[in-house]
Amino acid sequence: MKSVVRVNIGSRRNGGSTLRFAILGSLEVNANNTRISITAPKQRAVLVTLLLDANNEVPVERLTRFVWDGQPPVAAQTTLQSYIYRLRQLLQPMTGVELTTSAAGYRLQVDPDETDVWSFRDRVAEAREKAQHGDLAGSARDLRSALSLWRGNALAGIPGKLLQQEARFLEDERVTAYEDLFAAELELGNHRTIVPELKKLVSMHQFHETLRAQLMVALYRCARQAEALHAYAQIRRRLREDLGIEPGRELQNLHRAILEQVAPASLTLPSSAG
């Protein structure tokens, strides 16, 4: 396991705020342009659990469950207190960051703009608001800005099945942001530029019907009908062989429309059905 923070994130900024905490990839912590090394795996798990619910009280029960993966030892609370004490010492140089204690749990007080996960969510929310007001170009820019905060798999190197489940939830948010991005780009007529991105995402999420549909539409609008039909054949084969099911009706209808060579502009994308 990589247990030492190695990448300085002090230069990555969000609206003028330095990103001090990053979990959309491996754990990174930065204080005053100085990297903070957190080497103990369970101490890293404590910090990540607090960051996932930053500025809210995290009950001791949740912390012990996540840090010890549902099987805390008898002395878990005492050990947790020692981890909290060490984290306070490490975070002490960070102005505006405070780790507080209450009768029921702990709270990590931090500016959301200084954490990548909350910055990501804020930018996605802004992008969706712009899309609702018809500013698709601005929405696409904000979504790309949000997605640029990801450096790999969320919580990479953090042990525990429960925390890796949280990582999968974060990945779902990432994929949904990509869906929104590609929907905007298709509306803007940028089908040619997104084909490589879509191919990569589809290869990583082979059962994801919305991404597959977006790829099919992009290919068809590039006059690549055969490739669009092949993309459908691939997911249909995987669904039948691995799960014993057929693609959803909306994806089937899209396939039929491409077979019938309807006008590319008239193709209707399925609703999100990850």
Which three-class secondary structure string do you get for 252-271?
Answer: HHHHHHHHCCCCHHHCCCCC
Q: For 206-224, give one letter per residue: b (16+ CB within 10 A) or e.
A: eebbbbbbbbbbbbbbeeb
Q: Are 180 and 145 in contact (CB under 8 A)?
A: no
**pTM, to two decimals:** 0.89
**Same domain, residue pair 90 and 66:** yes
Angle at which helices 191-204 and 209-221 pack, to 10 degrees? Answer: 150
Q: What angle do CA 185, 186, 191 make, to 5 degrees?
A: 90
State phi, psi for 226 to the nearest 5 degrees. Answer: -60, -40
* CATH number (domain holding residue 17): 1.10.10.10
Boundary (domain end) residue, out of 72, 92, 114: 114
> What percent of the chain lies above the pLDDT cut of 70?
92
Q: How confident is the model at residue 35 (pLDDT cuts 50, 70, 90)?
A: confident
Mean pLDDT of 130-140: 97
**Which residue is it, tokens 């020692």?**
82
Q: How confident is the model at residue 39 (pLDDT cuts 50, 70, 90)?
A: confident
User: 181-224: per-residue pLDDT in tens?
Assistant: 999 999 999 999 999 999 999 999 999 999 999 999 999 999 99
pLDDT of residue 129: 98
* CATH number (domain holding residue 253): 1.25.40.10
Token code pair at residue 45 = 């798990």
Residue 257 lies in domain:
120-266
pLDDT of residue 18: 73
pLDDT of residue 4: 27
Distance CA 6, CA 152 (A): 15
Q: Which residue has the higher pLDDT, 32 or 240?
A: 240
